[in-house]
Amino acid sequence: MTTSDSKKNTGPLVAGVDLGGTAVNSTLLDSAGTFLISGLCEHPARSVEGPTICLQQIVDGLHEAVTKAGRNREEIAAIGLDTPGPATADGVFSSRGSTNFVHPDWAGFDIRGGLEKILGVPVHYLNDGNAAAVWGHTTIFGNQPNKTSVSAIIGTGLGGGIIHKGTVVAGSRGFGGELGHVLIPTESLTAMLPELAGYTAHCNCGRDGDLESLCSLTAIRTNLLPHYLQKHSDHPLASLDPAKAAIQVRGLAAGGDDMCQSIFQAQARALGLFFDQMINVFDPDALIIGGGAIETEETFQDWFVTEVRKGMPSQREEQISIPIKIMPNGDTAGARGAAIEAQRTLVSKP
């Protein structure tokens, strides 16, 4: 099926490529399931210069990865590629453009097909949230079949993904697992946290009160921080530019700052309400939290998970023990998840 047939003696490699707006992160997975790159292998993406230059950056990034691992590019039998959307399930960007890919040539561009053409090996595409979800799921369940998980990735926005019985729910149009735009019952949230009364939660997607408008760095900057600073006008963050202030909230919360802890408590409780919806839809084996927001000390992670649980209504006795896990190595999640999925779908097929 692939050019890997002649390489069976050494075992084919699968590359994972996580393309963001500014950087491309590459990894290599061998046939035994071992990642040959220990951390990030990052290369500039130059996506603002359009697809032709950016695709060459991906190729150069892969060259760096194989050099780092002491292998050859000819050993790569397949590639897993993930990007932020909006894109179809097969990696064709929206004709209306994308926040991360602003050059006009990206509109309607088939990045999966484009990369496959240049490299001459099969390329499997996932959106970035789904790729990270594959990584999170695999770190917990390995190759066990029939496991179901829901991953929420808290970053600039809120991405994520659902793995149902070992299969990514990519959706018919590529929008499966767009968890950030699921509406959260705000009356339940304000009943728990009365200080949120009067809170306005606008999301870029046009909805008010969805998960991303409550639980993301953007939510902190545009919604949560302004709301809390109304009542804490003497707080040191009040004098800073909102974007600079927002990225300090997590560190201050971990250090015990009351207002910043309240902001993270609000995010956690909203995530708890969301997870409750997912429990009732999927009855999953695990709920997973990833992303920059919780790439921090274990004590803060434990506190956050406890607050997520406090946000969940009472569960049925059979579902009380569904674990909430923190995704490890979150900065490598996209590339690794994309590689794992490509190996499953392109290389390991009977």
Residues that bind Zn ion (CB under 5 A): 181, 203, 205, 207, 210, 212
**Distance (Å, whole) CA 168 – CA 164:** 6
Q: Output the DSSP codes for 214-243.
A: TSSHHHIIIIIHHHHHHH-TTSGGGGS-HH
Residues 275, 277, 279, 284, Cα dihedral to 10°: -70
Q: How far is the CB of 180 from Zn ion (least distance, A)?
A: 6
Q: Is 79 or 184 the residue whose CB approaches Zn ion more closely?
A: 184
Q: Is 210 or 276 the residue whose CB approaches Zn ion more closely?
A: 210
Assign 182 to helix, strand or coil: coil
User: What is the phi/psi pair of residue 227, to 5°?
Assistant: -65, -50
Q: Is 122 or 177 the residue whose CB approaches Zn ion more closely?
A: 177
Q: Is 68 or 207 the residue whose CB approaches Zn ion more closely?
A: 207
Q: How far is the CB of 213 from Zn ion (least distance, A)?
A: 6
Q: Is 12 or 177 the residue whose CB approaches Zn ion more closely?
A: 177
**Distance (Å, whole) CA 243 – CA 167:** 37
Q: How far is the CB of 188 from Zn ion (least distance, A)?
A: 18
Q: Is 180 or 272 the residue whose CB approaches Zn ion more closely?
A: 180
User: What is the phi/psi pair of residue 300, to 5°?
Assistant: -70, -40
Assign 194 to helix, strand or coil: helix
**Helices within the chain (DSSP H only):** 51-69, 111-119, 128-141, 186-192, 217-219, 225-231, 242-246, 249-254, 258-282, 298-311, 333-342
Q: How far is the CB of 205 from Zn ion (least distance, A)?
A: 3
CA 3 to chain centre: 31
CA 109 to chain centre: 22
Q: Is 90 or 208 the residue whose CB approaches Zn ion more closely?
A: 208
Tell me whether the omega of the peptide bond preceding residue 313 falls within 30 degrees of 0, making it cis: no
72 in Cβ contact with 8 (< 8 Å): no
CA 218 to chain centre: 15
Q: How far is the CB of 196 from Zn ion (least distance, A)?
A: 18
Q: How far is the CB of 129 from Zn ion (least distance, A)?
A: 13
Q: How far is the CB of 293 from Zn ion (least distance, A)?
A: 17
Q: How far is the CB of 219 from Zn ion (least distance, A)?
A: 10
Q: Is 179 or 289 the residue whose CB approaches Zn ion more closely?
A: 179
Q: Is 103 or 181 the residue whose CB approaches Zn ion more closely?
A: 181
**Distance (Å, whole) CA 110 – CA 94:** 10
Q: How far is the CB of 184 from Zn ion (least distance, A)?
A: 11
